[in-house]
Amino acid sequence: QVQLQESGPGLVKPSQTLSLTCTVSGGSISDGGYYWSWIRQPAGKGLQWIGRVYTSGNTNYNPSLKSRVTISIDASRNQFSLNVKSVTAADTAMYYCAREAEAGGGGHWFDPWGQGTLVTVSS
Partner 1 sequence: DIQMTQSPSTLSASVGDRVTITCRASQSISSWLAWYQQKPGRAPKLLIYKASSVESGVPSRFSGGGSGTEFTLTISSLQPDDFATYYCQQYSSYSPYTFGQGTKLELK
What is d(CA 39, CA 56) in angstroms, rounded to the nearest whole number? 20
Residue 40, interface with partner 1 (CB under 8 A)? no
- Distances in Å between the Cα of 115 and the Cα atoms of 18, 23, 33, 88, 94 are 18, 12, 23, 23, 10
What is d(CA 89, CA 121) in angstroms, rounded to the nearest whole number? 5
- Mask for 9-38, x = binds partner 1 (CB under 8 A): ----------------------------x-
Candidate ranges 11-19, 25-33, 57-65, 76-84; the one touching partner 1 (CB under 8 A): 57-65
Distance of closest approach, residue 78 Cβ to partner 1, in angstroms: 19
* List 67, 76, 107, 123, residue binding partner 1 (CB under 8 A): 107
Residues in the chain: 123
Residue 49, interface with partner 1 (CB under 8 A)? yes
